[in-house]
Amino acid sequence: MNNQQGIDVRCFNGACSGNPVMVTITDSCPGCPEAFHFDLSGKACGGMANPGQDDQLRNAGVIQ
């Protein structure tokens, strides 16, 4: 059973719009060493992107 909770996420790199998207948090790696690590779906990444830059944001890799 997964513990799920919704949260607003946004980013601020060059391809990001700064607008948040609501994502469902699912801990699919409860034993991972990183305390705060999110794998976002392509849809979530696209929702945070500036118009026309969704692919750039999806392929950006690790964003901090």
11-47: per-residue pLDDT in tens? Answer: 888 889 999 999 887 766 777 777 667 778 888 888 9
Query: What is the pLDDT confidence band of residue 64, given thresholds at 50, 70 and 90?
Result: low
Closest residue by Cα to residue 16 from 59, 40, 50: 50
As a whole number of angstroms, the distance between CA 49 and CA 63 comes to: 13
Token readout for 44 is: 């979530």
What pTM does this model have? Answer: 0.67
59: pLDDT strictly greater than 80: yes
The predicted structure's pLDDT at residue 17: 92
Q: Does 52 have pLDDT greater than 90?
A: yes
Kindly report each contact of residues 35-39 with a partner whose C-beta sits within 8 Å and lies 24 or more positions away, as own/partner: 38/9
The candidate with the shortest Cα–Cα distance to 48, out of 16, 24, 13, 22, is: 16
